[in-house]
Amino acid sequence: MKLELHTLYWDNVDPRIIDSHKKVTDYLGLDINYYHENTQHGWWMDHVIKNSTSDIIGFIDGDCVPLSKQAVINAATYAGTNDSFIGIAQVSNHIPPMSHIYAAPAFFFTTKKCWSRLNTSFGETVRSDVAEEYCYKAEQERVKYRCIFPTTFEMEPNEGLWPLHNYGYYGIGTTFGDYCYHLYQGRESKNIELFVKRCNEIVEGTFNTSGMIPSTTMNYKGKIVR
């Protein structure tokens, strides 16, 4: 099956983020199409898939990097084998019911056949963040898909940790199993420096999660957003 990989970034993304992202993907030998466009995320995903000639389309955010080439292969294999999709687990904590765990677009792989079958946009709606409506439609049509759950995070966002419904939490610098590392909130200087550091570690082969906080910890003492 043919796979395509795509990354979108806007003018407000610090160049160090994308430079570090490219450093990792070059090191892993991944052929990624980069788009520097100020456009809506969901609309862009729709446009990419509509015009794709590949069987599987993968999306990787500019502040999210795979931890290995095998992680990309595994995600693409799941999507292709099941004619479905896979993405990192997320909850829209700003949209009721604030409990819907869905496959978020930061690290997301789907078959084009699945997209055609579901026939719905990746765009935001009154009940959905980007790609969430795609997941709602899959649930309605009983199309099984997979979420990759967070395993560790590095720092609490200023507004407090983000609950993943009844599973646990995620925050700045979250790892999702052996699949990827997602920075989040890359507009802050301290976070940019963290992303650059972690990308360098991936390339150097020294990346590890020691010292990070388990996403399912029961002993977190910080502020928690509900």
Cα 36 from chain centroid?
A: 18
Q: List, in order, residues 6 or more apart from 102 with CB less than 8 Å away.
A: 87, 89, 90, 91, 92, 131, 132, 135, 136, 147
Is 186 within 8 Å of 63 (Cβ atoms)? yes
Q: Is the dihedral of CA 74, 106, 175, 90 positive or negative?
A: negative
Q: How far apart are CA 138 and CA 59, in angstroms?
A: 18
Q: Which residues of the chain have pLDDT under 50?
A: none
Check residue 142 and give its pLDDT.
Answer: 97
Q: Distances from the Cα of 153 to the Cαs of 65, 127, 166, 201, in angstroms?
A: 14, 27, 17, 16
Round the average pLDDT of the chain to a whole number and report it. 95
Domain-wise residue ranges, the chain: 3-214
Fold of 3-214: Spore Coat Polysaccharide Biosynthesis Protein SpsA; Chain A (3.90.550)
Residue 224's pLDDT is what?
A: 63
pLDDT score, position 223: 67
User: Do the strands 56-60 and 3-9 form a parallel or antiparallel pair, or are they unpaired?
Assistant: parallel
pLDDT value, residue 225: 60
List pLDDT tens digits, range 171-226.
999 999 999 999 999 888 889 999 999 999 999 999 999 999 999 987 776 666 65
pTM: 0.95
Side chain identity at 27, as an amino acid letter? Y
Residues in the chain: 226
Q: Residue 190's pLDDT is what?
A: 85
What phi and psi, each to the nearest 5 degrees, are found at residue 31?
-95, 105
What token pair was written down for 121?
Answer: 């946009």
